[in-house]
Amino acid sequence: MKKLTKLFLVALCLFVANPSVQAQSIKKTGQTGLQFLKLDMLARSAGMGGASIMSGQGAAATFKNPAGLAEMESSLDFFGSQTGWIADINYIAVAVAKDLGSFGMVGINFVTADYGDDIIGTRVDPSVDAGYVETGALTVNASAIGLTLARRLTDRFRFGAQIKYASQQLGESLMPKTSGIKENKVGGLAYDFGTIFYPGLKSLRIGMSVRNFSEQFKYEDEAFELPLTFRLGAAMNVFDLMSGPANSSLLVEVNALHPRDYSERLHVGGEFLYADLFAIRAGYKTNYDQESFSMGFGVKYNVGGIGLRVDYSYSDLGVFEGVSRFTIAGSL
């Protein structure tokens, strides 16, 4: 275990120190589809700059690192989240997790996209001045549903896996040669895996996750991949090394990402939790065209035996409007 820890930390340090991580000529853009699978659906995670594969716990972990589900301290955990994305696109995500004792922790999650009702289809028509005619409103949607299982294999090691079905529909179109209707819909299975390891140094934890591993998808002739992403991460409560307020913590996490459709990235984030009641967060992402700084806050409160959590985050998207996320969660 000590050798594994050293190798992991050396790999993470080399990743951060390598200048090629920050600027590579090959960006690998346009190689994946179903891009909504890459988006952060959680306000707490987004407020920390997306650096949360080690700190995400309970039902929320099903969207970040499946192994985090094994960190759940309650018998039942659930959440609902809303993300107001650019171009008036909205994402709704929900998840519930249950501790099944010796069998492990099981979670179910679902995410759906609302693209609005203003998407109008067109088709080429040389007989009109505009060169095209409208064909009416298009039905466009995307969703994914997943089933997660996680276990504490030892007092220091957690493992989790998820199977999910992801789909996207881009509206119907008329095929000129056959006069038939093409639905433009794809769907299939994808898999997530993750680990968390405690090397024994205070609250330090390290681990990895692989998300969106799948076969190729195809609309018509050209096949495409899902946004496969490999992450390494480390997190620790800094107050383990220095004194801080009672019942408070200062969590710092670093994630190194290797996405299929871009060069390597780095996410850094922190969360200050005061009196186990109120949290403020901030984070930063490197090597993105528009995304960079983010911030957020959260409140925890017990009501009738239910531990409620409310989180909000704001992420800067450069030339686009900033993105806000709301999450309401609870545990029993």
Q: What is the pLDDT of residues 261-270, one digit of tens each?
A: 999 999 999 9
The reported pLDDT for the residue numbered 170 is 87
**Longest CA–CA separation in the chain, Å:** 77
Kindly compute the dihedral angle of the four CA atoms of residues 241, 243, 244, 248, in this order, to the nearest 10 degrees: 60
Mean per-residue pLDDT of the chain:
89
C-alpha to C-alpha distance for 300 and 67, rounded to whole angstroms: 23
DSSP state, residue 2: H
More confident residue, 253 or 20: 253
**Portion of the chain with pLDDT greater than 70, in percent:** 89
Residue 313: name the closest of 59, 83, 3, 73 by CA. Answer: 83
Q: What is the 3-state secondary structure (H, E, C) of the chain?
A: CHHHHHHHHHHHHHHHHCHHHCCCCCCCCCCECCHHHHCCCCHHHHHCCCCCCCCCCHHHHHHCCHHHHHHCCCCEEEEEEEEECHHHCEEEEEEEEEECHHHCEEEEEEEEEECCCCCEEEEECCCCCCCEEEEEECCEEEEEEEEEEEEECCCCEEEEEEEEEEEEEECCEEECCCCEEECCEEEEEEEEEEEEECCCCCCCEEEEEEEEEECCEECCCCEEECCCEEEEEEEEEHHHCCCCCCCCEEEEEEEEEEECCCCCEEEEEEEEEECCCEEEEEEEEECCCCCCEEEEEEEEEEECCEEEEEEEEEECCCCCCCEEEEEEEEEC
- Lowest mean pLDDT across 21-35, 149-163, 233-247, 281-295: 21-35
- For 264, the domain range is 2-331
Q: Which CATH number does the domain housing residue 38 bear?
A: 2.40.160.60
The reported pLDDT for the residue numbered 112 is 98
The reported pLDDT for the residue numbered 27 is 56
Specify which of 50-59, 114-123, 130-139 reaches the highest per-range mean pLDDT: 50-59
Residue 8 has pLDDT above 80, yes or no: no
C-alpha to C-alpha distance for 149 and 156, rounded to whole angstroms: 18
C-alpha to C-alpha distance for 202 and 43, rounded to whole angstroms: 27
The separation between CA 115 and the C-alpha centre of its own chain, rounded to angstroms, equals: 19
Average pLDDT over residues 46-57: 90
Residue 296: name the closest of 310, 308, 286 by CA. Answer: 310
Cα torsion angle, 190, 63, 319, 15, sign:
negative
3-class DSSP assignment, residue 101: helix
More confident residue, 9 or 284: 284
3-class DSSP assignment, residue 240: helix
The reported pLDDT for the residue numbered 56 is 81
Total structural domains in the chain? 1
| Model confidence band, residue 194 (pLDDT cutoffs 50, 70, 90) | very high
* The model scores a pTM over 0.95: no
